Amino acid sequence: MATEQQEEEHLNQEIQQVEAWKTLNEAVDAGDMEAAHDILEEATSDDKRRMISLLDAEHRDALCALLPVDEAAELIESLADAQAVKMLEEMPAERAADVLEELGPDASGDLLRDLDDDSSEAILAEFDNTQESDDLRERVSYAWDSAGGLMSDRVVSFRENTTVAQVLTELGEHAEDYSDNEVQYFYVVDKNKILKGVLALRNLVLGRRTRAIGELMIKDPASVPVDMALEDLHDVFEKKNYLAFPVVDADGRLRGIVTRDAMQEALSDTQTDSYLKSSGIVGGEELRSMPLKERCMRRLAWLGPNILLNLLAASIIASYEDTLQAVIALAVFLPMVSDMSGCSGNQAVAVSIRELTLGIIQPRDYLRVLKKEIWLGLNNGIVLGVVLGTLAAVWKSNIYLGLVVGGALMLNTILSVSIGGIVPLILKKFKVDPALASGPILTTCTDMSGFFLVLSLASAAMKHL
Amino acid sequence: MATEQQEEEHLNQEIQQVEAWKTLNEAVDAGDMEAAHDILEEATSDDKRRMISLLDAEHRDALCALLPVDEAAELIESLADAQAVKMLEEMPAERAADVLEELGPDASGDLLRDLDDDSSEAILAEFDNTQESDDLRERVSYAWDSAGGLMSDRVVSFRENTTVAQVLTELGEHAEDYSDNEVQYFYVVDKNKILKGVLALRNLVLGRRTRAIGELMIKDPASVPVDMALEDLHDVFEKKNYLAFPVVDADGRLRGIVTRDAMQEALSDTQTDSYLKSSGIVGGEELRSMPLKERCMRRLAWLGPNILLNLLAASIIASYEDTLQAVIALAVFLPMVSDMSGCSGNQAVAVSIRELTLGIIQPRDYLRVLKKEIWLGLNNGIVLGVVLGTLAAVWKSNIYLGLVVGGALMLNTILSVSIGGIVPLILKKFKVDPALASGPILTTCTDMSGFFLVLSLASAAMKHL
């Protein structure tokens, strides 16, 4: 637990941050680049990201325009992807090209992939170095979650006939190029850049200086093709405890290196994406700094279909108006039965999505999932049904009302956990994203069945109610 | 898209897997260790995990008892944590201790932390090596998401006065101990194991053989304390582009090393955890291979409080029974208004949780979030309200019914996105997990306000309905 002193320190920090943000805002207003620069310099990356996000779009663009290219690049890099893409779109294409050239191909590729095709091409056309823009076009053509999309170009390769001494000299002379922590392996290629072998730094430094690295290398090293999907990459890293794999194209040419880190991060992004989608944030990340219109349209895109599904469910109630008119107390229990079943079903959805992710179940295991969920539904349904049924019976002093409400909740719990358990499997089978569609499908089904069960059971027991 | 041939191949694979699983089951039944061993040997880690999960608990325990210790350890390691913990609990403590000694301190620490205290102590008491069990007790005392919980003990350290030649000889003679890819840095400690410096492999091999590494090392290297929290570790890795940091205790003694990889994986686990919690899977991961009773109890633990919240909301309807009796059509719209608002509010919750994770907002930014969400709510509320209101007006040919229903949905959308936007901030402020509690709080609030708005507006407009 935080002590009082820590709290106070924390508060002071917050006040300082707000002050810093205000000063930044004023500096941008006044076009005072130096002051803005100083504030950003002092901030941690999280704070920087926060401050930039809280600026309105105009101030942000103005700030970016004021900074020298290298600092603008640094600023863009510190932002969330969605924000960075937005800023690039607002910039003149020439300036955007300068910033991307500064950022390097890895980061640029990721950003360009998220830009619309026209903006992306306009920016690439402004590149000074056409080799670089061609490489980027190729990178952008790979899916973000494939080996090609995740690879880094920080890969060091030498020709087979290079000697150990030559490699060491090269490393010594260009130490700053290799000072990157990621360089622990050297790849060996032939004159056409075809991957031939791999050599650990260790083995290089321990090797006789006059030998060609082609003799020291491990031949036919494990590699992954540019189009390998994230799922398969995950498998490959699971099977071999390597920190990285070289990425090769269809001809076997070395194109880059994909690290365990990059794979892990992509997996984590996918999981975030699932969470957002399951909450109805679709079509990419939403940040509150985005324009209102875009945020509204995106959220409505998911709410729209939902209103139709809701209508479908509500139509059940409409068809039982007479029953409802006769026993108005039922109206109190309709939303409760559908809500509670929805909650139970969502638990089953989450477990199925989790087990699919872990590779513990596959779509064809639906019978097993169904069996497991029906038993659980029977148990939990009885518990919840007895609780709600008792409450209903006591409230209106009518045991039949209790039986109707409790029975409906029990049956609907069994139904909803069964549906919740298998819907993700069915969606996966038909290659629809389970995180996106399971929730709305489940809710509609359990709403409909819940309303139907309460009202039809009530109709049947009408003379006792 | 998959071609027909790929589909067929895929199907064949699936059939083979089912066959393999059946054979495994039979082999365990017959106590035929060798056959079981062969099947597991051939499977990929995902398939192995799947097959083991699909075995029932008895078969699984029998299989583990049949295997030699090293294979049992490998099997345990391939399982999801929750399953592995379960298996350890079922084993005799002595066997569990052997398996854990085989697994090594990193993996063992993680598993022991999840065991209950009694089982954990019983197993530790069976360790042959008391130094090892003492170390493990210490490891288990660190939170799983702190530097101490995430650290690996695969750290190589030497005393300051060791010469480069001595280090190289040691490395050469015990190459197999250092063949791990993770060893790229050597840490330098004094006689009390206090961390003094760090030395890159590169600098070691390039150093004069007679020099003491204390002279070559970088002094006072960046390190993290054992109790540093995951959030802060993330910050530290953001600020410095290192692959790993040494972990030191309160006295400055080197205890282990925490890698970027381990930090990333823990973050990803936290995100998974948030997703599961937000869907009502609380108290740890649920797998369908767990006992039915445990799964039921865990799910009910979350459904129980929910039924109370639902009652609270439904009590609003109960207090307006007269209104409902007079205009029974309202019963059709009650669940629709509350459902749709719930969906809108959940979108706002997801965006807030995401922005909190990204560090773009902090609890004190609630006014900004509120402002942003109110505008969005007004927009989306008008769109959704007009749609639903029109449908209601047309259905019953009553414009006032349309105004009541549409107006209620509009107002409730504004309310729900506002509540959804700030509830995660408030929970975070009071150190409650936003992923866990935001959903139920939001749903209860929007249900209550939705029911209230529809019914009170209807009461007010009663003579026209």
Check: CB of residue B236 under 8 Å from CB of residue B246. Answer: no
Q: A309 φ, ψ to 5°?
A: -60, -40
Distance to chain B for A168, nearest Cα, Å: 10
B301 and B412 co-located in one domain: yes
Specify the pLDDT at position B182. Answer: 54
Is B259 part of any domain?
Answer: yes
CB pair distance less than 8 Å for B310 and A338: no
Q: Which residues of A touch B302 (CB under 8 A)?
A: 343, 347
Written as one string, the DSSP assignment of A346-398 is HHHHHHHHHHHHHTS--GGGHHHHHHHHHHHHHHHHHHHHHHHHHHHHHHTT-
Residue A320 DSSP symbol: T
CB pair distance less than 8 Å for A235 and B44: yes
Check: CB of residue A324 under 8 Å from CB of residue A330. Answer: yes
Share of residues in chain B with pLDDT > 90 (%): 41
Give the residue from B212, B208, B170, B154 showing the smallest Cα distance to B188.
B212
Check: CB of residue B186 under 8 Å from CB of residue B218. Answer: no
A194 and A252 co-located in one domain: yes
Distance CA(A406)–CA(A387), nearest Å, equals: 8
Residue A283 DSSP symbol: S
B368 and B265 co-located in one domain: no
Give the HSE-up count for residue B46: Cα atoms under 13 Å, Cβ half-sphere.
Answer: 17
**Mind listing the pLDDT tens digit for each residue in A406-463?**
999 999 999 999 999 999 999 999 988 888 889 889 999 999 999 999 999 999 999 9
Report pTM: 0.77
- For residue B181, CA distances in Å to A175, A181, A243, B224 come to 22, 13, 7, 22
To 5 degrees, how large is the angle CA B299–CA A357–CA A414? 35
Number of C-beta neighbours around residue A299 at 10 A: 25
**Mind listing the pLDDT tens digit for each residue in A164-197?**
888 888 877 776 666 554 557 889 999 999 999 9
- Assign B376 a pLDDT band (cuts: 50, 70, 90): very high
Among the candidates A143, A173, A196, a domain finishes at A143
Is A287 part of any domain?
Answer: no
Residue, of B465 and A251, whose pLDDT is higher: A251
Specify the pLDDT at position B426. Answer: 95
Q: Which residues of A touch B205 (CB under 8 A)?
A: 205-206
Among the candidates A216, A248, A278, a domain finishes at A278
Specify the pLDDT at position B176. Answer: 65
Specify the pLDDT at position A1. Answer: 40
For A268, the closest of B260, B267, B302 (CB atoms) is B267
**What would the mean pLDDT of B403-409 be, rounded to a whole number?**
97
Is A149 part of any domain?
Answer: no
For A343, the closest of B205, B280, B349 (CB atoms) is B280
A262 and A117 co-located in one domain: no
**What would the mean pLDDT of B334-348 be, rounded to a whole number?**
93
Specify the pLDDT at position A173. Answer: 76
Distance CA(A408)–CA(B305), nearest Å, equals: 20
Is B334 part of any domain?
Answer: yes
DSSP H or E stretch at residue B186? strand B185-189
B309 and B246 co-located in one domain: no
**What would the mean pLDDT of A255-271 be, rounded to a whole number?**
85
Distance to chain B for A192, nearest Cα, Å: 29
A428 and A397 co-located in one domain: yes
Distance CA(A7)–CA(A163), nearest Å, equals: 61
Q: Chain centroid to CA B40: how far?
A: 28
pLDDT over threshold 60, residue A303: yes
- For residue A332, CA distances in Å to A183, A391, B308, B315 come to 66, 12, 14, 7
DSSP H or E stretch at residue B248? strand B244-248
Q: Which CATH number belongs to the domain containing residue B62 in this structure?
A: 1.25.60.10
CB pair distance less than 8 Å for B80 and A361: no
Give the residue from B45, B99, B41 showing the smallest Cα distance to B70.
B99
For B344, the closest of A47, A50, A303 (CB atoms) is A303
Distance to chain A for B228, nearest Cα, Å: 14
A207 and A127 co-located in one domain: no
Q: Classify the C-alpha dihedral B98-B99-B103-B106 as positive or negative.
A: negative
Residue B171 DSSP symbol: H
Is A319 part of any domain?
Answer: yes
A90 and A112 co-located in one domain: yes
Q: Give Dmax over CA atoms of chain A in angstroms.
A: 101
pLDDT over threshold 70, residue B50: yes
Least confident of A29-33, A387-391, A398-402, A440-444: A29-33
pLDDT over threshold 50, residue B2: no
Distance to chain A for B231, nearest Cα, Å: 11
Distance CA(A3)–CA(B442), nearest Å, equals: 31
Is B150 part of any domain?
Answer: no
Is A269 part of any domain?
Answer: yes
**What would the mean pLDDT of B383-409 be, rounded to a whole number?**
96
Specify the pLDDT at position A2. Answer: 44
Local structure of B342: helix, strand or coil = helix
Three-state SS sequence of B295-321:
HHHHHHHHHHHHHHHHHHHHHHHHCCH
**Mind listing the pLDDT tens digit for each residue in B117-174?**
889 999 999 998 888 888 899 889 999 889 999 998 878 889 999 998 888 888 777 7
- For residue B225, CA distances in Å to A226, B159, B219, B264 come to 40, 21, 17, 18
Written as one string, the DSSP assignment of A135-176 is HHHHHHHS-TTBHHHH-BS---EEETT-BHHHHHHHHHHTHH
Name the range with the highest mean pLDDT among A45-49, A356-360, B309-313: B309-313
Amino acid at A460: A
- Assign B1 a pLDDT band (cuts: 50, 70, 90): very low
Among the candidates A278, A304, A338, a domain finishes at A278
**What would the mean pLDDT of B49-76 be, rounded to a whole number?**
83
Residue, of A26 and B207, whose pLDDT is higher: A26
Specify the pLDDT at position B285. Answer: 81
Q: Which residues of A touch B201 (CB under 8 A)?
A: 201-202
Share of residues in chain B with pLDDT > 70 (%): 96
Specify the pLDDT at position B411. Answer: 97
A244 and A330 co-located in one domain: no
Specify the pLDDT at position B9. Answer: 74
Q: Which CATH number belongs to the domain containing residue A266 in this structure?
A: 3.10.580.10
CB pair distance less than 8 Å for A280 and B361: no
Give the HSE-up count for residue B169: Cα atoms under 13 Å, Cβ half-sphere.
Answer: 7
Size of interface A-B (CB pairs under 8 A): 289
Number of C-beta neighbours around residue A307 at 10 A: 20
Distance CA(A261)–CA(A243), nearest Å, equals: 8
Residue, of B291 and A331, whose pLDDT is higher: A331
Specify the pLDDT at position A117. Answer: 87
**What would the mean pLDDT of A28-45 be, rounded to a whole number?**
81
CB pair distance less than 8 Å for B335 and A335: yes
Q: B161 φ, ψ to 5°?
A: -85, 5
Residue, of B272 and A388, whose pLDDT is higher: A388
Number of domains within chain A: 3
Closest A-chain CA to B14: A364
Specify the pLDDT at position A404. Answer: 97
Specify the pLDDT at position A18. Answer: 78
Mutual orientation of helices B4-29 and B45-54 as an angle, nearest 10°?
50
Check: CB of residue B76 under 8 Å from CB of residue B88. Answer: yes
Specify the pLDDT at position A182. Answer: 55
Closest B-chain CA to A335: B335
**Mind listing the pLDDT tens digit for each residue in B230-260?**
988 988 887 777 878 999 999 999 999 998 8
Angular region, B254: left φ>0, alpha ψ -120 to 50, beta rest: beta
Residue B78 DSSP symbol: H
Least confident of A453-457, B42-46, B286-290: B42-46
List the domain range (segments joined by +) for residue B345: 292-464
**What would the mean pLDDT of B343-362 be, rounded to a whole number?**
88
Check: CB of residue B232 under 8 Å from CB of residue B217. Answer: no
**What would the mean pLDDT of A374-392 be, rounded to a whole number?**
95
Average pLDDT, chain A: 87
- Assign B179 a pLDDT band (cuts: 50, 70, 90): low
Amino acid at B142: Y
Residue A161, both tokens: 């006939």
Which residues are within 8 A (CB) of A174 and not within 5 positions of it... i.e. 6 or more apart? none
Distance CA(A24)–CA(A36), nearest Å, equals: 5
Q: Which CATH number belongs to the domain containing residue B353 in this structure?
A: 1.10.357.20
ipTM attached to this prediction: 0.78
Specify the pLDDT at position B192. Answer: 92
Distance CA(A144)–CA(B296), nearest Å, equals: 40
Check: CB of residue A383 under 8 Å from CB of residue A413. Answer: no
Is A148 part of any domain?
Answer: no
Check: CB of residue A37 under 8 Å from CB of residue B229. Answer: no
CB pair distance less than 8 Å for A279 and B349: yes
A366 and A450 co-located in one domain: yes
Check: CB of residue B280 under 8 Å from CB of residue A348. Answer: no
Specify the pLDDT at position A107. Answer: 87
CB pair distance less than 8 Å for A317 and B340: no
A323 and A459 co-located in one domain: yes
Residue B181 DSSP symbol: T
B87 and B110 co-located in one domain: yes
**What would the mean pLDDT of A304-320 be, rounded to a whole number?**
90
Amino acid at A434: P
